[in-house]
Structure 1
Amino acid sequence: MKALLSFVLLINGWLVADAQSIDQEVAATNTMSQYQAGIHYELINPAWPSDGGLPVVYEFFSYMCPGCFSFEPIMNQLESQSNGDETSMNFQIIKVPVALYPQWEPHAKTYYTLKMMGELDRVHQAFFAAIHQYKKQFRTLDDIAVWLSASFGINQKSFVDNANSFAVDSMMRKGQQMIKTMGINRLPTLVVDGKYKPNFDQLKTKNDILGITLYLTQANQ
């Protein structure tokens, strides 16, 4: 927990500091000499297999992680760089909810369930805010179902049934396999294309994170 709290303070520091625009940062730093394997990012071997399509940025996170909540503005900026218009870069973002502790499991299941029910875009930010801004306590799926019903009109029984389904269980098991294969031991963590893991300890600002992540999405292009 000490490491997690230290990382939260580091993330908050990034978000408070003023930085140049993303485009200026990437243009100034996007060079081979700027980013070195073993220093600015780790190589994952064996890599998580790619489907051969667009490069993927995996974000490993938990709704229960304060640092992940603070990291959301960075993820929103990354997503704005991959939105498919002519000014964007060609990559996709896949979020992987992590249950580092048993009490985090309902929240990870909630992510997959909302995605499966087509409700994720509507609820994702609000669920984060409910936990970290409004200090709501969600200990069980039933607690979450009551809040979803009151806040978004989502049927409680349908949510709980889906959360306990084989489909969500399969997604949870795949997530655990990804965590093990890619060596995820802190949150949030980014992994690019299943083989490049930016080293947040060596990256001083949020634009450093954005710059190296965008750089790594193009590394094999």
Structure 2
Amino acid sequence: MKKILIFLYIILFSYTTLAVEFTNTKEYHIRKKYISNTPKIMQFFSFLCPYCYELEKTYDIRNLIRKKINKNKSIKTYHVNFLGGEFGKILTKTWIIAEQMGVEEKIIIPIFKGIQETHTLNNINHIKNIFLEKTGISLKKYNQFWNSFFIKILIQKNNNDIKKLKLDYVPAILINGKYTIEYSQLEMLFKKNFSKKYIELIKFLLSINNKN
């Protein structure tokens, strides 16, 4: 019984510590309207966003969550297409295809690098070539996915989810349909310990009960 009480005290103390640390809301915002029926964690990025690339390259931002957050929590990563016009739409489609093929890890940094650093990727053929090169997927299979009606449905859902949130900036993350993290503020406050504080903040926001 004593051990159980000690264990519960540790959990309570940990939660209280986090609450005190993060309740000033400098590191996150509370949306006025709760968004229901969404994944617990929704991440948003664009290959055309320099800061998105910096977060991915420096902190492995997507995988950080998957490694440290309970696997029972639903997590979804969205590529937005409100940057870059038609090229942005091509990149959104490419990301969705990569997710369906399970090759996101093979293409995310090469595409980021080709766009942000070497500036060698700037049209649909460049993206297709780097995709085929880095994944080893056959051209036939790639074309099947590219022309798939199912992919069109997923793109529409992707865009509808983003529209529902009225999101117009990246990088962004929505927790529990209500809380968005201020990346730049969090990084400024915890520069040397960003990864740890980022995960602690997500866990803290996941623990808050939401009401409309």
How many residues end up aligned between the 2 structures? 186
Runs of 4+ in 1 over 4 A off after TM superposition: 26-29, 36-39
1:81 Cα deviation (Å)? 0.5
Report matched runs for 1:1-221 at 5 Å.
Answer: 30-31=18-19, 34-36=22-24, 40-50=28-38, 56-72=40-56, 73=59, 74-82=61-69, 84=71, 91-101=73-83, 102=85, 103-140=87-124, 142-200=125-183, 202-203=185-186, 204-205=189-190, 206-207=194-195, 208-220=197-209
Gaps of 5+ in 1: 1-25, 85-89
Matches of 1:170 and 1:32, distance apart in 2? 43
CA distance in 2, matches of 1:200, 1:146: 32
Report if the CA contact (8 A) 2:110-2:130 is conserved.
no
Q: Whose helix fraction is larger, Structure 1's or Structure 2's? A: 2
AA at the equivalent of 1:98: V
Q: Distance in 2 between matches of 1:80 and 1:118?
A: 17
Distance 2:75 2:168 in 1: 20
The answer to whether the 8 A contact 1:146-1:156 is kept is no
Give the CA deviation at 1:31: 1.0
Displacement of 1:83: 6.3
The CA RMSD over aligned residues, in Å, is: 2.9
**Equivalent-residue separation in structure 2 for 1:178 and 1:37 (angstroms):** 25
Structure 2, unaligned stretches of length 5 or more? 1-13
Give SS of 1:94's match.
strand
Normalised TM-score (structure 1)? 0.70
